[in-house]
Chains A and B, each alone.
Chain A
Amino acid sequence: MTSSPPAVLELSGITKHFGDITANRAIDWSLNAGRIYALLGENGAGKSTLMSILAGRYQPDAGTIRRQGRTVRFQSPAQALAAGIGMVYQRFMLVAPLSVAENIRLHGAAGRSRSDRQGASIRELAVRYGLAVDPDALVQDLSMGERQRVEILKLLNRRADILIFDEPTAVLTHTEIAGLFEVFQRLRDEGKTIVFITHKLEEVMAVADEIAVMRRGRMVARLAAADVRSQHDLARLMVGREIILNVDKPPAAPGETVLAVSGLSGPAGSSRPGFEEIAFEVRRGEILAIIGVAGNGQEDLAAGLAGLTPLKTGRLTFKGRRWRAPQWGRKPHEGIAYIPADRDRTASVGAIDLVENFMLTQLAVFSRALRLDRRRAAAATAAAVERFAIRGGGLKAPAGNLSGGNLQKLVLARELARHPDLLLAEQPTQGLDVRATEAVWQALLHQRAASAVLLITGDLKEALSLADRIAVIFRGRILDTIAARDSAAIDRIKLLMAGLETG
């Protein structure tokens, strides 16, 4: 580091809550001109929230932002941009049928300059920063990498000198990534400040000057890239050491195999890579965790096993019956209860009441011939509300009024009430507070006695607390399956999750 140049942006004590969740807690960070910053962390660590605060999309609940020494408060992205801070989102915000120049002009102040001059100045900017793109090309004809360059040009055209990128490499090919990093370096050499969000360690090592690591809403480390000795150190910082096994877990007593899969790949009919060559078996009386950093194929795997999206190839044996992957079908299977990651929009219907939500996956149980047996459903719901201490306005309140934790407990109670042979739980405690997390964990452990439990999660603490065996998924493949009792294996799991070790 050079001898402390003046900070172009300084955050102090930035705190942001979403309901019960604290997405950012007392974050201090200062950014200098001419540096590339990597903001590293797992999904849900609070990176995107922090960057959205910088870019004016959210307002912090506490804390101050100082821009070149002056305290600023952005009410909108436009205000942040006027102060020279621009963000490139993961989903590009471009108008596909318009040309590159038109998109850039659309973003600028309306009618400020004539179109021919604009075209010339875009070319000039493009040449200066190595952002080769034809101003007259239509955005719909561009590759993702070219579209990203248009987004960058949009910001440069508005004279932004702090450029924030939310997982900029997620949509790019390998060559495009290399090109993007060259652009980063050129922008840095011109005195711009670059911040990019990522959870990929190799990218951090490749291009960053400074690294900040976030975990569970806090900024746990700020260091210069030159001081990082190995990617392993970063992986540990990112995943954390605070593994507290505070769940009382009796040893597993595995029974018969409920689900065995081999050579599974999917999803069918999709260009996404998804998952490949998945093999595992899960027995009654045990919890198998499949763990991975978000976006490594476990979401598709969960939807495929649940019967919501078609599988491509492979074999499954469920309760002794054999299936070929394409026949597994698009319909939920009797005997599998599925707790999807998206409890608001998949697992529940916000506009109908708790009793009707409790019927969602048990309609056959609660109907007699042509009549819904609402009275029986209400009794069962009341019992669930009692057992799981679900609070939120009573049985006739719309489920949309429940907090995340209470809604998840309702979904869990419903799925357990089906007495499944296999319970498939995907990110069951994501975004929940400590008490709700404990309740969900206890219920999952309790269920282990009755059925096989497949836990798909990105949370290592959750996997270690609950699982008997842990399979690590990376880029759509299971690298290794490790016994959770083996405490020496924890470091290895972290490295596998980061893709730094192979199975």
Chain B
Amino acid sequence: MAWRIEKRAAGHGAAPWWTLPASFAMALAVGALIFALLGHNPVAAYGAMARGAVGSFYHFSEVLVRAIPLMLTGLAVALAATMLLWNIGCEGQLVWGGIAAAGVGLFVAPHLPEVLVLPAVILAGAAGGALWALIPAVLKAYLAVNEILSSLLLNYIAIIFMEHLYFGPWRNPEGFGFPGTAQIDEVARLPHWGATRVHLGLGLALVLALLLFGALRRTPWGYRVRVIGHNPQAARYAGFRLRRHVIGVMLLSGALAGLAGMAEVSGIHFRLQQGLAVGYGYDGIIVAWLARLNPLAVPFTALLLGALIVGGEQLQSSLHLPSSISMVLEAVLLFGLLLSEALARYRLVRRASAQPLRRQGEPTPP
């Protein structure tokens, strides 16, 4: 037994550089295999995807449109995960952001001066998401309820409640029976960039990414969040109030996801209707992990995922492949990243006899 695989002694510092390229390579390879199994030339299929995503200005603007909610939910997941909180509830928080934005746009806006309408809609979106996130936050902080389950299950409640609104009390009376609310006024909509569907939400998301990056690295609050994420025991030792931070971080995370819902309502659909909850909340998890939870990297990974989604839709029209192929690729990308990060924790050693001094969860050698 000359060689053996051993766990690295310390998991400190960044994962090696090669994990991201390795996961891309793996995703491409698995995708190619799937294309081949479906009877298509992988090169042609990837070419069609690439053309679909960046082949023209219009196509690229559609990638940006998809990237906006992905950036916001990606930031939401990244912030929570920095403190070891798993906010799987971004989808529900997004929905509540949309409900609140639509509600203010429909029912409050007529009573407000015009300049205040859009700020009110944006704030309502953030507040809607934050309040929905408050439920798992309080359950976690005071009753130690696992936030993964509570936030996930609340997604379904949020979606059903939204459907109730646009099928029922908020349904547009002049909508010829279509499920959906009336359109919000022009003043309650996010301004658009030229003739595209790209809206102000893009600027908002980019500014928030910068702010979050700065806040996590340069403020005492961000420092505490990072320390709690790395080592809750040390945080308790230092006297940080863990409950308060759990609630604060979940509120902010929910607000970010709520803004994504607001952006979809106020920037794209202009009403509450089917097609708001299409999985951006869950995609945010992938965006955040590909970005290694770094807020500055989130816009780029959101673009990447946006391109994957738009490119996948093109496959449907040009090669008549199911568009769900892009979801498969997303999943393989994430698995590849997790796998290569897990592999990076091991190394090949020759006749190792040295053991790490202490490993968590093991009896301590004297």
Contact = CB atoms under 8 A, between A and B. Distances in A.
Interface of A: 17-19, 21, 23, 43-49, 52, 58-61, 75, 89-91, 166, 306-308, 331-332, 338, 340, 344-352, 356, 359-361, 363, 367, 370-372, 374, 398-401, 404
14 contacts: A17-B354, A23-B366, A49-B365, A49-B366, A60-B353, A332-B237, A349-B231, A350-B12, A351-B11, A359-B223, A360-B234, A363-B220, A363-B238, A398-B12
Contacts of B231: 345, 349-351
A297 B13 CA distance: 36
A370 B230 contact: no
B56 interface: no
Contacts of B236: 308
Contacts of A349: 227, 230-231, 234
Interface in B214-243: 218-224, 226-227, 230-231, 233-234, 236-239
Nearest to A367: B220
B7 to A, nearest CB: 15
A49 B261 CA distance: 57
A90 B239 contact: no
Nearest to B227: A349
User: How would you classify the secondary structure of chain A's contact residues: helix, strand, loop or mixed?
Assistant: loop
Contacts of B360: 345
A100 B230 CA distance: 39
Nearest to A52: B365
A58 B239 contact: no
B230 A332 contact: no
Contact of A398 (B13, B222, B223): B13
Given A18-B355, A351-B231, 14 more contacts: A23-B365, A43-B366, A59-B353, A308-B236, A308-B237, A332-B239, A344-B358, A346-B237, A348-B234, A350-B12, A360-B237, A363-B223, A363-B238, A370-B221
B1 interface: yes
* Centre residue among B220, B226, B227 by max chain A CB count within 10 A: B220
Interface residues of B, number: 31
A350 B363 CA distance: 20
Nearest to B226: A352
A348 B227 CA distance: 10
A346 B233 contact: yes
Contact of A361 (B13, B219, B238, B355): B238
Contacts of B220: 363, 367, 370, 372
A48 B365 contact: yes
Contact of A44 (B230, B357, B366): B366
Contacts of A23: 365-366
Given A18-B365, A23-B365, A61-B353, A356 B223 contact: yes
B147 to A, nearest CB: 22
B363 A48 contact: yes
A58 B366 contact: no
A374 B289 CA distance: 28
A17 to B, nearest CB: 8
B353 A361 contact: no
Contacts of A91: 363
Contacts of B10: 350, 400-401
B3 to A, nearest CB: 13
A75 B1 contact: yes
A414 to B, nearest CB: 10
Nearest to A344: B358
* Centre residue among B234, B236, B366 by max chain A CB count within 10 A: B366
Given A48-B363, A372-B218, A401 B238 contact: no
* Centre residue among A349, A352, A399 by max chain B CB count within 10 A: A349
Contacts of B224: 363
B218 A360 contact: no
Given A75-B1, A91-B363, A371-B219, A352 B357 contact: no
Contacts of B11: 351
B366 A90 contact: no
A236 to B, nearest CB: 21
Contact of B234 (A90, A338, A347, A398): A347
Contacts of A398: 12-13
Contacts of A340: 237
A332 B238 contact: yes
Nearest to A42: B366
A4 to B, nearest CB: 31
B234 A351 contact: no
Nearest to A50: B366
A407 to B, nearest CB: 12
Contact of B233 (A19, A49, A345, A372): A345
A21 B224 CA distance: 33
A370 B12 CA distance: 28
B215 to A, nearest CB: 8
A102 B156 CA distance: 41
A49 B231 CA distance: 27
A45 B365 contact: no
B279 to A, nearest CB: 32
A346 B234 contact: yes
B365 A58 contact: yes
B15 to A, nearest CB: 12
* Centre residue among B226, B230, B238, B358 by max chain A CB count within 10 A: B238
* Centre residue among A45, A338, A352 by max chain B CB count within 10 A: A352
Contacts of A404: 357
Nearest to A363: B220
A52 B362 CA distance: 12
A46 B1 CA distance: 28
A356 to B, nearest CB: 7
Contacts of B239: 307, 331-332, 361
Interface string B1-21: 100000000111100000000
Given A349-B227, A350-B10, A47 B366 contact: yes
A18 B357 contact: yes
Nearest to A333: B239
B1 to A, nearest CB: 7
B11 to A, nearest CB: 8
Contacts of A308: 236-237
A423 to B, nearest CB: 15
A351 B292 CA distance: 15
A19 B357 contact: yes
Nearest to A401: B12
Nearest to B217: A372
Q: Which 5 A-B pairs give the minimum distances between C-beta atoms?
A: A400-B12, A332-B239, A367-B220, A398-B12, A59-B353
A116 to B, nearest CB: 36
Interface in B313-354: 353-354
Contacts of A352: 226-227, 230
Interface string B195-222: 0000000000000000000000011111
A58 B236 CA distance: 33
A399 B231 CA distance: 13
Contact of A338 (B221, B222, B237): B237
Contacts of B13: 351, 398, 400
Contacts of B237: 306, 308, 332, 338, 340, 346-347, 360-361
* Centre residue among A19, A60, A331, A372 by max chain B CB count within 10 A: A372
